[in-house]
Amino acid sequence: MDQYTFQPIGILHSPFREKFGIPRQPRLTPHAISTLELFAPFNAAECLQGLEEFSHLWLSFIFHATAAQGWQPTVRPPRLGGNTTRGVFATRSMFRPNPMGLSVVELLDIVDGDKGKCLRLRGADLLDGTPILDIKPYIPYADSVSAARGSFAQAAPPTLPVQWSANAEQEAETLLLPTDLRMLIDEVLAQDPRPAYRAKQEDTQEYGVWLEEINVRFCVQQQTVWVLALQPKP
């Protein structure tokens, strides 16, 4: 059997500093702005000629943070409550025979970086530092199938309302928290990043999710997410 070696064409810089809190699908957090830093020779203007004519792109990437853990033949999708199993090929689990993923993002701009061309992207569901293997343009007539069936993921997951405590509001003011980052915090927490089984039981635990350089402390009470505190990185 032939063996293949793939070379990353770049690395993605995203606001998601850890796996916990990353949206489970792309485009669920429109205030998640990422930068794709392309490596030479792929950062030459010739490689990107005409790309600006497309609004969205497909990114092929490596699940680099979990690749060493190997793969599993069955998976417990969060959308099914974390208890029902499906075959790995019927899910988008990161624990795959080859740790590769596919994500659709919006192309905002092509900019000049320190080492060549970079892409500014919206809505990526990828960990900071994710290696990117390839870029392909999203073709609406071919890639969007109106009659497609989505099994247990036919529609976007429900979201929870997000409220900020007085303490969190004060800390946001002290930190001069950018409006876009506040919007991203709301979008991420509305997706309820907790383990799926937690949604069906009383949960008194306090959680933290790293976005940009801030540890956002939160809890969920009566199906409402409460932002408790903002802890900047030391």
Rounded to whole angstroms, how far apart are CA atoms 58 and 135?
6
Q: What does the pLDDT look like over 124-169, one tens digit per residue?
A: 999 999 999 999 999 999 999 989 999 988 888 889 999 999 999 9
Q: What does the pLDDT look like over 108-118, one tens digit per residue?
A: 999 987 778 89
Q: What does the pLDDT look like over 12-70, one tens digit per residue?
A: 999 999 999 999 889 999 999 999 999 999 999 999 999 999 999 999 999 999 999 99
pLDDT > 90 in the chain, percent: 81
Q: Print the SS3 string covering 49-64.
A: CCHHHCCEEEEEEECC
The chain-wide mean pLDDT, for the chain, equals: 94
How much is the pLDDT for 141? 95
Q: What does the pLDDT look like over 213-232, one tens digit per residue?
A: 999 999 999 899 999 999 99
Six token digits for residue 223: 């199906």
Higher pLDDT, 96 or 83: 96
pLDDT beyond 80 at 200 = no
Q: What is the dihedral of CA 55, 108, 193, 85, to 10 degrees?
A: 30
pLDDT > 70 in the chain, percent: 100
How much is the pLDDT for 81? 80
Rounded to 5°, the CA angle 87-14-78 comes to 25
Six token digits for residue 215: 């540890």
